Structure 1
Amino acid sequence: MIDPTVPGLALLGTTVLVGAGTQRVTGLGFSLVSAPFLVLLLGPFTGILLANALSLGTNLVVLAQTWRAVEVRKALLLAGPALVAVVPGAWVAHTLPAPLLALTAGGLVLVALLAVLASERARVLRGTGGAITAGAASGFMNVTAAVGGPAISLYALSTGWAHGSYVATVQLYSVLLNTGSIAAKGWPDLAPAVWLVSGCALVIGVLVGHLLARVVTPGRARTMVAALAIVGSAATVVKAVVELSSA
């Protein structure tokens, strides 16, 4: 449980601020950056719940800044299969060992990401079929391993999705996915000080990220997206291997 003193709240605020800023610049990254620290501060269950809630808040704030560039049809095309995949994903997560699921999902996405970066021929997630596949993989990974972003990044890299539209559209997609996740798991019950610090850090982080997004070139932003997706997938695999080896 988080230390309610100034140092504990300062660590929480820094974590949320960096995650929110990353989300604004790259389109994803709040959970990849913040979730490990939130789990450390609050424990696995409450930490992930707070990550989902704050990620939803970040999505809404970024969406308010970028809504003109949203591709609604593409967001819904990704969200539909993602929300459907949450249902069997939740069942599988309760049936099979979570580390094994995380290892499989994270490993597959990591290999696919590296293949896409290495060769144009590996960019297979294109068109409607690619969007459905990416959405389903994202929803499944979100409920089983708390990492839904890498699969959407894989789709963006495969299709050469323009970064500005990608950032905006992913926020709408994530609003739908995070709302579904919170509806399934509940709202975290935390002290008012935790919510106050988290909320202020979230807003400041998004504002700072908004300023940085103006000077970060699309090419560099795409590189950051790919790097975050690879780091997130690799971290999922490493975490799963450690948990399996210690079981």
Structure 2
Amino acid sequence: MTPLLLALTLATIVVSALAQRVAGLGFAMLLAPFLVLIFGPHSGILLVNLLGAVSAGVMFIRVRSYVDWGMYLRLAIPAVAMSVPFSVLALALPAAPLEAGVGFLLLLALAISVVLHRGPRTIDGPGVRTTAGLTSGITNALAGVGGPTVSVYAVISRWDQRKFAATVQPYFMTIGLAAMATKSAVDPGEWPVLSGWTWVAMFGMILLGMYAGERVARFIDDRTARAAVIIIAFLGAASTMAKGLINLM
């Protein structure tokens, strides 16, 4: 990695961690397209899984008192059940068509969720939560983005923003580590080769971004944070689809 690419990577990590602290998600969705361009589809997503789990772990320390552990289990169990087999599948299939397809479906689901949110009806229940967990685990394994799907669920169920932002942190840790462990076991050679100080710098930028996000979050209310969630989810889905289409062409 050249010094310029390293500087851009570290800057992107800071911005992604800041978004994660403010909105509760966004780290993997903002970082994944950039790392995939540098390291390739499989190594890049593997790195996103690791850094995303670390970012979520750092934020979890700050918001753990708001975590709804019952909701976490309802989402995490089906997500992990899908994350493991689809992580293996992701290593065997070409990444570009998968990313393009996943991005398109996420955009469609997000658009539908925004329309449904404008109506008076709340859509929730065991089946809805299980479906959200299943699809989030699949998209995380295939494209490194599990956030848009849980964002859809948060919108249509009108999940309280503060509890949502807290609960998805251990959730992101779980699905990120599950996908990373599975891919590492199947093909350990996919890990990018980086120097020790590069790893330290990456983890340091996560802490810096979280610190900056902590300061910014004080001036943002729940309604604005929820709007940021939807915008970041759309950006993540769109960039995933665009990245897949570019690779296809």
What TM-score results when the alignment is normalised by the length of structure 1?
Answer: 0.89
Shift, 1:181, TM fit = 1.3
Q: Match for residue 86 of structure 1? A: 83
How many percent of aligned residue pairs carry the same amino acid?
Answer: 36
Shift, 1:108, TM fit = 2.3
**Closer/same/farther in 2, CA of residues 202 and 51 from structure 1, 3 Å limit:** same
Rounded to whole Å, the distance in 2 between the matches of 1:137 and 1:236 is 15
Out of 1, 7, 11, which is 1:10 matched to? 7
Q: Match for residue 176 of structure 1? A: 174
Q: Match for residue 211 of structure 2? A: 207
Question: Does the 8 Å CA contact 1:125/1:131 hold for their aligned counterparts?
Answer: no
Matched, 1:162 2:160: yes
Q: Which amino acid aligns with 2:144?
A: A
Q: Match for residue 237 of structure 2? A: 233
**Closer/same/farther in 2, CA of residues 238 and 222 from structure 1, 3 Å limit:** same
Q: Which amino acid aligns with 1:199?
A: F
**Closer/same/farther in 2, CA of residues 214 and 89 from structure 1, 3 Å limit:** same
Q: Match for residue 38 of structure 2? A: 41
Shift, 1:8, TM fit = 4.0
- Where does 1:74-223 land on structure 2 (aligned, <5 Å)? 74-93=71-90, 97-120=94-117, 126-186=124-184, 189-223=193-227
Question: Does the 8 Å CA contact 1:9/1:197 hold for their aligned counterparts?
Answer: no
Q: Which amino acid aligns with 1:41?
A: I
Shift, 1:207, TM fit = 0.9
Question: Does the 8 Å CA contact 1:115/1:122 hold for their aligned counterparts?
Answer: no
RMSD of aligned residue pairs (Cα, Å): 2.1
Question: Does the 8 Å CA contact 2:140/2:146 hold for their aligned counterparts?
Answer: yes
Shift, 1:30, TM fit = 0.6
Deviations 1:171-223, CA, capped at 9 Å, x for gaps: 01011111101211236542012112111111010011111111111111111
Deviations 1:28-81, CA, capped at 9 Å, x for gaps: 111111122223333333322222111111111100000000001111110111
Shift, 1:243, TM fit = 3.2
Structure 2: state its 5+ residue gaps.
Answer: 185-190
Q: Which amino acid aligns with 2:78?
A: P
Which range is displaced more, 153-162 or 95-104?
95-104
Which range is displaced more, 113-122 or 212-221?
113-122
Task: Give the match's secondary structure for 2:138.
Answer: helix
Shift, 1:155, TM fit = 0.4
Question: Does the 8 Å CA contact 2:109/2:152 hold for their aligned counterparts?
Answer: yes
Question: Does the 8 Å CA contact 1:90/1:143 hold for their aligned counterparts?
Answer: yes
Rounded to whole Å, the distance in 1 between the matches of 2:48 and 2:72 is 21
Shift, 1:135, TM fit = 0.7
**Closer/same/farther in 2, CA of residues 54 and 82 from structure 1, 3 Å limit:** same
Rounded to whole Å, the distance in 1 between the matches of 2:240 and 2:35 is 16
Question: Does the 8 Å CA contact 2:56/2:172 hold for their aligned counterparts?
Answer: yes
Question: Does the 8 Å CA contact 1:50/1:188 hold for their aligned counterparts?
Answer: yes
Q: Match for residue 187 of structure 2? A: none
Question: Does the 8 Å CA contact 2:35/2:45 hold for their aligned counterparts?
Answer: yes
Q: Which amino acid aligns with 1:224?
A: A
Shift, 1:115, TM fit = 1.7
Rounded to whole Å, the distance in 2 between the matches of 1:95 and 1:47 is 15
Deviations 1:88-121, CA, capped at 9 Å, x for gaps: 4235435654433333332222112112212345
Out of 20, 30, 39, which is 2:17 matched to? 20
Q: Match for residue 50 of structure 1? A: 47
